[in-house]
Amino acid sequence: MEVDRGTEGLERIRDKLTGYHLARENQLFQKYGHFKDSTVLFQAHSPKRAQTIFEALSDHVASDLAWVGCAEDVTKDSIMSLPIWRDLKGNKLQIIRER
């Protein structure tokens, strides 16, 4: 999870997603467990900033890796189980889905 406070430029955020992408491609997280996939959550400090990050990452090679949300939607009850995150296709998603 990346918590954005609006102090980094969008190029830096894109660079971070590139780093996560390369780590996934090179299986650098395998020492923590065998995960078939991963997601990077970008939590912005405002709805406007969330939209800006969404737009900045939407054409990134690793856009399938990122979800964007807004701090005002994140609570201890919502963070995992409510569709407060948006993938870069625009779908609202939740981390844990009931089967």
What's the rounded mean pLDDT across residues 70-87?
93
Is residue 87 in some structural domain?
A: yes
Is residue 20 assigned to a domain? yes
- pLDDT for 98 equals 64
Task: Identify residue 70 by its one-letter amino acid code.
Answer: C
Overall domain count for the chain: 1
Is residue 58 domain-resident?
A: yes
Q: Is residue 62 part of a domain?
A: yes
Whether residue 61 is contained in a domain is answered as yes
Assigned domain for 79 exists = yes
99 within domain boundaries: no
Give the integer Cα–Cα distance in Å for 98 and 79.
15
Cα–Cα distances in angstroms (integers) from residue 73 to residues 3, 53, 61, 94, 97, in the given order? 13, 16, 27, 12, 18
Measured distance CA(68)–CA(27) in Å, rounded: 23
Q: What is the pLDDT of residue 29?
A: 76
Residue 98 in any domain: the answer is no
Would the pLDDT of 63 be above 70?
A: yes
Can you give the residue range of the structural domain that contains 50? 2-93
